Amino acid sequence: MNFKKHLKDSLLTNNPVLGQLLGLCSTMAITTTLFNGLGMGISVTLILICSNVVISLLRKVIPDKIRIAAYIVVIAGFVTMVDLLLQAYLPALSESLGVFIPLIVVNCIILGRAEAFASKHGVLASAVDGLTQGIGYTAALVVMCIIREFLGSGTFGAGVIGADGIRILPEQYPALLIILPVGGFLTLGCLIAFTQWVNRKLAERAERKEAAG
């Protein structure tokens, strides 16, 4: 299995958020600080890996007619574990993310990878798929968090580097609109457009190399 290719696809070509347009509700809702983005990204990555592995192990014994229900039960079990761990060890993050942690159960990224990949491949390949897709999801969240926190609050790393992070812009300059829901739409739209532009340039470069070779 080509890990580099999988990772490149997850980061650019087939990014869960910027390419497949999955999990957009939580993406726009929680990406106001780097703390939230890292917390949600790592949580989803862990759940992706664990659920992919278990579903891959059970793929030959789960009846086809109830496979979606079975996948949801497996995913819900790992989401409950992560939710309880956050409440126990990172209560501030659990409170900040709120209902979006339990809603990971119906996150299309996790259910989609279970149906499209883990149910058809071996354990190792499914684990790698969960890891790379989780990295792609986390990267998209972190970039959105950095942009929205910087432009909307004028800070960087709030909750990660101290409670208030590092202030970069004076308090009177940030555009508070960016940390509101409309700011999430604007930021996400710009990132999707940029990702598509990069993908097009990479595809054109690959075509030129193929033609030259």
Per DSSP, the three-state class of 174 is coil
Q: Tokens in use for 128?
A: 């790698």
Q: Look up the pTM and report it.
A: 0.92
pLDDT band of 213, cuts 50, 70, 90: low
Structure tokens at 95: 């409170």
Percent of the chain with pLDDT over 90: 65
Q: Read off the pLDDT of each residue in 89-101 and give the average, rounded to a whole number.
A: 92
Share of the chain above pLDDT 70, in %: 99
Does 172 have pLDDT greater than 90? Answer: no
* Whole-number Å distance between alpha carbons of 192 and 25: 15
Q: Which domain holds residue 136?
A: 3-212
Q: What is the pLDDT of residues 194-204, one digit of tens each?
A: 999 999 998 89
Give the per-residue pLDDT at 1. 65
Structural domain count, the chain: 1
Q: Tell me, what's the pLDDT at 176?
A: 83
Q: What is the pLDDT of residue 4?
A: 84
Q: Is 22 in contact with 146 (CB distance < 8 Å)?
A: no
Confidence check: pLDDT of 96 > 80: yes
Residue 169 clears pLDDT 90, i.e. is over it:
no
Question: Do residues 147 and 137 make contact, with C-beta atoms less than 8 angstroms apart?
Answer: no
165 vs 85, more confident? 85
Average pLDDT over residues 129-152: 94
Cα–Cα distance measured from residue 71 to residue 118, given in angstroms and rounded to the nearest whole number: 10
